[in-house]
Chain A
């Protein structure tokens, strides 16, 4: 039975049939099943099935979105009891509201275009069928995560997307770097997931009557009934999960390494959708965070720290894809900052625009790799002449990322700056600084890659049989149309997605997902818009002066900052800290040594002790067992004597 939550700010309910919502989730799952069972060895059909099943989800998602828009962002929940065990009752159901509908469209549209792109990018790979199977499974999990109506289902799909991320980062598992990166991603995110699990247990024991329902949890948090520390603890648990999945400081180290996976995977999972799931999760439970100002402060400052750290690392990277990776971490940090500054709508809006322009940027990185067989920008340069479409779309994505008027990124970043400014000038300052750095590093990458003279790319290694590189890196060329088309299509939302915010429909849509209206409202401010644009242009100009005109030598520039440059190049020593200190010292020398000693002396000690006691006693006892009946008889008689004496001593006559 569909029901409307009483406190919903919207006036009407979407009228989507339940099967439509389930079909959105099920379609990619069917595609996965078909590919795994029958089509793994038939590349053309496997790719086609993947695109078709995701296309179905895409069409139904748009249908759902328009339906929700018609209903002014109302909430519709279809739920069924799954099982009940004691005080635990778990439902299985779908929930559609403005937030969900927007996420659905983002996920399916980016996934669709990335699949299309993949048919060209992965062409000739021996794991072609496996690739599309994993991709379908990922899209299924992500859609399930978005549509789930309770925390329990969210947790299940949350882990499923983590699994898919692992499988796809390690897609070329025969490469040690890829295998290590996959493990790193899986283990690092698992640390955060522990927090999510803790939140799940907390909501079961202390929450609204053993129910995990999203709507109930939101109401419960705003009712003022639970104690403050429970709310804070729950919010921080949720946020810990988000920190892992969205690669926030201090668990951000896995995302740059995740670039070992195929580039379309990075575009879809590690830029547009899965890493944004953390932001989505915090947004989903936004009323809970609103009820705890401590949790909000943590979210805001973790986001601020992440965005600043990642942006500073991005400016010294030489790998095109890693610039993008750190840029993604930085932008996710901005979204978290926005959420922490009560900028709920701004965060989702930035998630929305970021998904498009960052997916676009990653796909152009894939195109560049397709032409030059490398991601190292020192081996590129001058590609503007050879790849005009890739160049143009990359510049569009970069301008959008840098927040230049009137592209999509400008509007969403402006919203974030507004909310940050209203909440805390410190946050606003960090966000502005990040804007400047963002514009600088992305245009540094553009100038290094597309301008100047071509530096030859990476020659194809004839001994590397895993590489399916086709063509000649010395003569770069545009990729096939299956890869060019997604670039061109994605460029459209990267330019125009900002139009949503102008007529306020987006705000109403996203706000409708909350049980009550937002307290904090910000309106457009010329001063902030102008200052952020000026900083963006300044960053681009700086990159232009250094990397195009060479007015300033990048080397002397780096020298000028001395220790800071070293800090950035060493990624703030996070990897070193984790590897050398945490893993080697604390885990291997500390904890493992403790376990080893325990094993050696306690566990082995017990086993050996039992053996020793048995041996020593038997050594003593064997003297008695001499085979002489007379000796036994003596013992027998002595025993009786002892018993008799004892009996008479106890009972005197």
Chain B
């Protein structure tokens, strides 16, 4: 059996759900970041699947979009990790429940 669009989309959806669960349930900030990365990549899978399996007047659009997403995700990961590191230096924790300095 050759894998079709449905299979790819199912994988993408499952990956997205896993990422979402991780991002929402992890108490560790690094874990949350990893969940977000997972969600981004799930979207990438979906985009590429549509690119591969559907006719389009503009075939490069899907791939281009994915490249952009990867770039932005890398930048976001860099910034978020920098934040996590600097927060850890100040408070000796990356537990998101305790990152509540703005709360009165």
Contacts and interface: CB of A to CB of B under 8 A. Distances in A.
A634 B100 CA distance: 18
Interface in A608-653: 627-630, 633-634, 637
Interface residue range, chain B: 10 to 19
B76 to A, nearest CB: 15
A274 B23 CA distance: 92
A630 B103 contact: no
A270 B103 CA distance: 78
B20 A630 contact: no
B24 A637 contact: yes
A472 to B, nearest CB: 85
B96 A630 contact: yes
Contacts of B97: 628
B47 interface: no
A630 B100 contact: no
B32 interface: yes
A637 B23 CA distance: 11
Contacts of B102: 627
A447 to B, nearest CB: 93
Nearest to B26: A630
Nearest to A633: B24
Contacts of A633: 20, 23-24
B56 interface: no
Given A628-B96, A628-B97, A634 B24 contact: yes
Contacts of A627: 100, 102-103
A637 B20 contact: yes
Nearest to B17: A637
Contacts of B25: 630
B35 to A, nearest CB: 10
A144 B20 CA distance: 90
A637 B13 CA distance: 13
B80 to A, nearest CB: 12
A135 to B, nearest CB: 73
Contacts of B32: 630
Interface in B3-59: 20, 23-25, 32
Contacts of B100: 627
A628 B26 CA distance: 12
Interface in B49-104: 96-97, 100, 102-103
A639 to B, nearest CB: 13
A55 B23 CA distance: 102
A630 B97 CA distance: 9
Nearest to A630: B24
Nearest to A634: B24
A633 B32 CA distance: 12
Contacts of B20: 633, 637
A629 B25 CA distance: 11
A569 B20 CA distance: 96
A630 B103 CA distance: 15
Nearest to B96: A630
B23 to A, nearest CB: 7
A634 B23 CA distance: 9
Nearest to A632: B24
Most central of B24, B32, B102 by chain A CB within 10 Å: B24
Interface in A308-355: none
A630 B35 CA distance: 12
A634 B32 CA distance: 13
Nearest to B25: A630
Contacts of B23: 630, 633
A69 to B, nearest CB: 95
B97 to A, nearest CB: 7
Contacts of B103: 627
Most central of A627, A628, A630, A637 by chain B CB within 10 Å: A630
A592 to B, nearest CB: 49
A298 B93 CA distance: 98
A629 B24 CA distance: 8
B12 to A, nearest CB: 15
B25 to A, nearest CB: 7
Interface in A56-114: none
A629 B80 CA distance: 15
B30 to A, nearest CB: 14
Closest 4 CB pairs of A and B: A634-B24, A627-B103, A630-B24, A633-B24
Interface of A: 627-630, 633-634, 637
8 contacts: A627-B103, A628-B97, A629-B96, A630-B23, A630-B24, A633-B23, A633-B24, A634-B24
Interface of B: 20, 23-25, 32, 96-97, 100, 102-103
Given A630-B25, A630-B32, A630-B96, 14 more contacts: A627-B100, A627-B102, A627-B103, A628-B96, A628-B97, A629-B96, A630-B23, A630-B24, A633-B20, A633-B23, A633-B24, A634-B24, A637-B20, A637-B24
